[in-house]
Amino acid sequence: MQVTINGKDEKLFGNPPEVGEQLPKFKLEDAQGNKVKTADIIGRVTLISSVPDIDTPVCSIETRKFNQQADKYPDARFLTISNNTLEQQKDWCAAQGVRNLQLLSDESLSFGYAMKLYMPNFGALARTIFIVDKTGKIVYRQIVPEITDEPDYQDALSALEKLAKRVDD
């Protein structure tokens, strides 16, 4: 599968999983350095956002927007995954005041390879949104065709609302 970066073609490691498929097995790290496996994600409706580099403007905007939405969906978990180091992610969260979602590191690229979202020539993950149900089945997939563009937030949140009740403030 292909995406673009500033209009230049960039190949993904393979073809990412489709709607209806189960999440593959992968391991990530949380802010405390604990392993987070696929099995730890299953059991709760989850919106997974993968970003190329949390320290870039579009990734930062995207993650802050999902952080603002997370508390409106108490039944859902919001995860943002990048292959930044834990230290880079901690510094970013502290600077941005992000507390409603969980930032996970895929520095080992386990998620990137398992989900086929790694861009080997670019050295980062593609910009995507996946929503999985409580059983780990993928019910929504958005692969942003141009990495420098923001995702379609409304489309993703509309899909999430089919599984998780929204509470308005």
Read off the tokens for 93.
């969260």
Whose structure tokens read 């292959």? Answer: 83
Question: Residue 7's beta-bridge partner residues?
Answer: none
Q: From residue 164, how far is each of 16, 71, 133, 137, 155 by CA, in Å?
A: 24, 12, 9, 15, 14
Reduced 3-state DSSP string for 59-91: HHHHHHHHHHHHCCCCCEEEEEEECCCHHHHHH
Assess whether 59 carries a catalytic annotation.
yes
Within 10 Å of residue 2's Cβ, how many Cβ atoms?
Answer: 11
Identify the active-site residue in 28, 45, 54, 59.
59
What phi and psi values does residue 86 have, to the nearest 5 degrees? -60, -40
Residues with a known catalytic role = 59
